[in-house]
Each structure stands twice: as C-alpha cells, then as structure tokens.
Amino acid sequence: MENNLYRLGALMFDDDSSSFSRKTTIRKIIEAFFVLKENCTVLCSELPELVKDAFDIELHIDEIQKVLYNSKNFEFIGGHCQKQHSDYCSLQVHLTIKRYELVSQKEYYNSIYRYIDEYYNSDEEIRNIITNEEFTKLIEDFLYSVFVQNIAKSSRMFDVSIDKKDLLTDLKVSEERKKIINSFLDYDDDNKNKAIYNIGSLAIEYVILNGGIDLQSQESNILKKVLYLDTNIIYRLLGINGEQRKIKVRNLISRCIETGQQIKISYTSKKEFFDSIDYQLQKVVRYPSNIRYTEPIDNAIIKDYYDTKSGNAKFYRAKVQAEYEDLIREFSIVEEKYDFYGTARGKDRLAIDRYASSIAGYKNKTLKEALPDATNTYYIEKLRSNQGKTFRELKEFFLTSDKNLINWETEAKETYPVTIYPSNWLSIILRFGSRTNDDYRSFVSFIRNVPHEEKRDLDVVLATMQVIAQKAETAEKQKALFEIFVENEYESILKKSNFEEKIIYIEETIPPYIDRMFEEQSEVIRRLEEQSRLNTIKQQKEIENLRHEFEEDKSSDDKQRLELCEEKFNSEIADRKLRLVISIIVFIGCIIGLIYTLPNILSVDNTNKSKILIEFFISSISFPVLLWSIKNIYKTSSVKSLKQDLLLKEITKQEIDLLLENRNKLFLVVLFF
C-alpha cells in the first residue's frame, strides 16, 4: 500500500484546492486508482473493493455512483451510469484518454519519487553509503510512519475510532540513517516539501472519509478555536531554541491567527517560562566566565545566554523580558492573570495533583516539574466542561511540542485530548486555505527526526566549561581542551556530589591536559610547518617541470612557426624570381627595340614614311614599358618591399629579420641562389 499511498498523495492536492467537498475527494481517489492501474477498464460494481485494496479506504457504491454519474471524466462501456445504481452493475468504466493523460502528468510533477531520485543523484556522500533502492525504501518507510502516526493524531482530534498501529512497522534505523533522512527533508526544494506535505496530510482525508466526517461543516468551528501555548512553544517563538525553530513556529502562529484562532498564554505557562529562565541563570551567576564553545551545553537557556554573549545575567533576563513583551504585542496574544492552581480547592486541586503524579512518573520528572503540565491540562478540561465532547463542539486546545506529554494523555486519559502537536494542527488549518512554500517548509521541519545524541550531565559540562574558559580564550582552544578532558575525566567529575566539588576537582586535574593540549597543538604546528616545507619543495619541482614543459612546448611551437614562415618566405621568393625574370626580359626587349628604332626615326635621309611611323609607334610603347620594367625590377629586388609583402602574409618583423639576416637590401643574388 505504501507506494500507492504516495501516488494518491501526489494527486489529491495537485491543484492546491481548499475545497472540502466529499464528492471532490472521492472523485480524486477514483481518478488516482485508474492512474495507478494504467486506466484499465473495470466493472463499476467492483470499484469499492478495488479502491479498498489499493488505498485501504472504504467507499460505498452509492457514493461512487454519484461521482461517476455527474462527471464527464469517465467513459462507460455498455451504456451510461444510472441514478439508480445496482450493486451488481455490469457496466465497465475507465477515465477518458484526455483526463487520464492530464492526471498522469500531474502525478509525475507531484511525485515524491521524482525528488528522491534527484536528491540521491546529486549527493555523492549518500551514494557512497547506500544504494538508490535502499535510499528510496528508507524515505518510503519514514513517510509511511508519519502517515500512520498522523492517522492516530487525526483520529483523536475528530473522535473517530481508527487504529492503524498494525500497519506501522517499527522504524528502527541507525543514527547514520536518521541523518540521511533529515538531509533529504532539509534540502531546499519547495516542490519536494509540497510532495511530503501531501503525503502527511493525506491522513486527514483518510480519517474524514473512513469516519464519515463532514469537514466543511466544521470550518467555522476550527476558526473559532483558542490555542494555549506551552512553555516550549514560547521558547521557540523567542528563538531560545535556535533561529530555525523560531522561524517555523512563528510561521505556524501567524497562520493560526490568519485563519481565526485566538492565541493565549495561561498564568501557569508564563510563570513556568520565567521561573525556568531564573533557575537556569542562577547556574551562570555563581561562576561567571567567558565561555565561547557552547556546543556541549544541552540547555537551551544557558546555551542561548552564552551564544548571545550577554555577559550579565540581569541583562539577559531583561532582554528576554523585553522580547517576550514584544512577542505579546506582535501576535496580540492574550495573557491570563488567573492563578488556577493557586486558587484551586477540593476536587480540582486533587485532580491536578493526581495528573502531576502521573505525568511525573511517565516523564521521569519531579512533581514540581510536572505540575505546570498537569495544571494546564486540567485547566483546559475545566474550560471545556460545558462545551460537548466532539472536535466541532470543543474550543480550547494546548499547543505543545512535548511528545511525552501528548503520549501520556493518549495512554492515561479517556477524555477528548487537550494537547496537540504543531505539525498536526498546521496540517488541519492548511486544509482550510491556500498554502505557501513557507507552509510546506514548516510542515516538513516539524516531522524531522531528532537524532539521538549522548547527553552529558549539565552540571559536569558547565563546571568543566567554567574552568576551561579561564584557561583558554578562543572557542577553538576551549573545544580542544574540553574534548580531551571530558573524554578521560567525565565519570570522575560526575561522581562529585555538588557543583562546587566538581569545580575544585576540575581545577586540580586539568593542568596536565592543558600541557597535553599545547603539546598536541605544537605537534600540529610542527607537522603543518613540515608539510609546508615539503609542499614548498614539491611546488618548486612542479614549477620547474611546468617551466620545462612550457619551454619544450614553446620550442616546438617556435620550430613549427619558423617552418611555416620559411615556407611562406620561399613561396614569396619564388614568386619574385618569376616576376624579376619577366621584368628583365621586358627590359632587354625594350632596350633592343629602342636601339633599333631610334636611329631610323632620327635619320633625315629616311624617306619611307610608313616605316618611320611604325618605328615611332614601337618607340612610344617601349618607353613606358621600359620604365615599368625598371620599377618592377627595383620593387621585386627590394628588401623593404619584401618585408611589406611578408607582413601581409602574417609574418612578424622579428621573424622577417631572422629570415633576411646577412642579406643585402638589393638581393638579386638571393633571388637566384
């Protein structure tokens, strides 16, 4: 079913429609079925069973009949679908060719497999770890787990009894595989994010169809909901858990407000938030230090304190207070002033304490730590006491990213759930309106895996970093010293009974590690210097080799060039030889002609006028031809003229000088020898 699920998701939301028509949803499911089966012809009466086998969605024959009867997207064999449809209808049906081609094209562009292949082929590191088939299966299994888990969440929300846990195989993957899944989810592609959203949100359609819910009638009720924010949501809105979480949660709250929800913070949540800030700051006030390396600190408040380089606990507290007040104004959040637990009496107080005890046991927390969750949960139940028992009737919800609290409520309570996870609520409200690329990106970020990392005791980390910050100034040196020290001394520090003893132990034992760090750094510097020296020698050899290769190439090119120039030069000389011979012959002919004709012309005794006329004509022609031959002989035998012609043949002046070396400007000898 998994592969079919992804293909259905690609077609259900292909047009970003916010229509809630059950008929439209059923039509898209039937169209998706025919695309899946390559538009084969089937009996109308068999469609409910075939759809059930393909997508595990139950549709009644009457619902299918209404869609087929009113749609022009289907073709029938043996007649046309009638209003009064028989369970044993023998009509055969398939999509029209035009509709099939259109829907198939949409499936290709929306298919998650397209983006799985593109990402795998673009990431060489992943290709070196797993095959394309393994990568595809890994993403399939993860998205299927999201789909089934969302069925459970949506079933709780709409009070529909659908248990699909049997479909969910235990997705146990290594930390390396989790990082691979997250890398696919994190890479920035709006169309990929939309494809993942389509699959995750398909769970809502699944619950709506199988539960017989009229979602359209519930739109106004969703818009009237009131969301109370848990402390962990406030952390994220203020960026204490990091900038990325801040962006995605702010986007969620903005969408909630746009779709009409009212945002509130209870007295209990506000008190828990600022109490947690004050409690954590007490740890940094006792031992102020210049901690630069904060990666090992597994505490959002303390890590944020050092990351923002506040340097003063009072200043940081004032900064958080100001940012909190800005948040209240920005989102028009309602702050409640009523201390519900402080004024609770009788059965209300007993119920809260009972919840606190149960939550503390489930989450492995103290009663004091569990009390805010217990108070908020019971408080919202109390607000709902006269509202009814269905999603449509209930108004208040508790938005939290605490999965343990949500799981506790699922297992420990039978009443309608109070808690709701951000991604589940986001998929609901996006079902009611247009969706943007930021919305898809937020949805994907909410379903990311959280890689399991070995958590170190916070007091051990803080005590170690407090001492290290006095010994090393830069983040790089603090990191190097922390890693070698904690690797060897963690268990010993952990055994110390209080923070002060940890500090004393670290100060006594750290000097050898400082020496070791400097020795390692000196060794690194020595290796770098040696490597630099070797690299210099290597580079010099490479330069010499390159120079030698260049000179060889240049010599070869020069030789080829010289041969080409000599070829052009010899061609020009041969041409000039021919022209010079012709000019000399013409010159001699003209001289002979003049010697023969001039005496007769000048003779006074010559009475043959016709002969004189002919000789005069010959003489008149011989003079200009003689001048032309003299000029041509000079030009042909001139070095200057030769240079000009050789330049026209793309031979440089230097090359011409080389060719004419030791030759006279008048080089008749050159032409003939």
**What would the pLDDT profile of 240-262 be if each residue is shown by its tens digit?**
878 878 887 888 898 888 878 89
Residue 457: predicted pLDDT: 78
Which is nearest to 164 in space by CA: 180, 153, 179? 153
Q: What band does 126 get if pLDDT is binned at 50, 70 and 90? A: confident
* Gap between the Cα atoms of 89 and 63, Å rounded: 14
pLDDT above 60 (res 211) = no
Where do the DSSP E strands lie in 199-248? 226-229
Check residue 16 and give its pLDDT.
Answer: 45
Distance CA 659, CA 155 (A): 96
Q: Could you report the per-residue pLDDT of 277-336, keeping only the tens digit for each? A: 998 888 777 766 778 777 778 777 888 888 877 667 888 888 899 999 999 999 999 999
Q: Which of 58-67, 103-112, 547-556, 618-627 has the lowest mean pLDDT?
A: 547-556
Q: What is the pLDDT of residue 432?
A: 56
Cβ-Cβ contacts under 8 Å for 483 (sequence gap 6 or more):
none
* CB neighbours of residue 225 within 10 Å: 20
**Residue 670 confidence class, pLDDT cut points 50, 70, 90:** very low
pLDDT tens digits, one per residue of 358-379? 999 999 999 999 999 999 999 9
Of 638 and 352, the structure prediction assigns the larger pLDDT to 352
Between 358 and 605, the higher pLDDT residue: 358
With pLDDT > 70 as the criterion, what percentage of the chain qualifies?
A: 73
Residue 666: what pLDDT? Answer: 44
pLDDT tens sequence across 472-516:
778 887 888 888 888 888 888 888 888 888 888 888 888 888 777
- The predicted pLDDT at position 112 comes to 74
Residue-wise pLDDT for 37-82, tens only, equals 888 888 888 888 888 777 767 777 777 888 887 788 888 886 655 5
Note the pLDDT of residue 441: 55
Q: Under a CB-based contact definition with an 8 Å cutoff, are residues 240 and 304 in contact?
A: yes
Cα(12)–Cα(431) distance, rounded to whole angstroms?
A: 12
Cβ contacts of 447-452, under 8 Å, gap ≥ 24:
447/146, 447/185, 447/196, 447/200, 447/423, 448/182, 448/185, 448/186, 449/142, 449/178, 449/181, 449/182, 451/175, 451/178, 451/179, 451/182, 452/175, 452/178
Least confident of 189-203, 312-326, 342-356, 358-372: 189-203
| Secondary structure class of 410 (helix, strand, coil) | helix
Q: Which long-range contacts (CB under 8 A, 24 or more apart) does 568-577 make?
A: 568/646, 568/649, 568/651, 569/646, 569/651, 569/659, 572/642, 572/645, 572/646, 572/649, 573/670, 573/671, 576/636, 576/637, 576/642, 576/671, 577/671, 577/672
Q: Which helix (H) or strand (E) holds 516?
A: helix 511-602
State pLDDT tens for residues 78-110: 665 555 554 556 678 888 888 888 887 776 666
Measured distance CA(479)–CA(492) in Å, rounded: 20
**pLDDT value of residue 237:** 93
In this predicted model, which residue has the larger pLDDT, 26 or 672?
26
More confident residue, 535 or 209: 535
pLDDT at position 556, please? 67
pLDDT tens for each residue of 462-471: 888 878 887 7
Q: pLDDT band at 166, cuts 50/70/90?
A: very low
Q: What is the reported pLDDT for 1?
A: 47
Range ranked top by mean pLDDT from 74-83, 106-115, 406-415:
406-415
The model scores a pTM over 0.85: no
Position 13 pLDDT exceeds 60: no
Burial class (CB in 10 A: 0-12, 13-18, 19+), 427: buried
221 pLDDT band, cuts 50/70/90, is low
In the chain, what is the straight-line distance between the N-terminal and C-terminal CA atoms, in Å? 95
Q: Hey, what are 77's tokens?
A: 């064999």
Phi and psi at 76, nearest 5°, equal -120, 150
pLDDT (mean) for 520-524: 72
Gap between the Cα atoms of 16 and 12, Å rounded: 9
Neighbours of 582 (CB within 10 A): 14
Question: What integer best gives the mean pLDDT of the chain?
Answer: 75
CB contact set of 610 (below 8 Å; sequence gap of 6+) = none
- At 191, the amino acid letter reads N
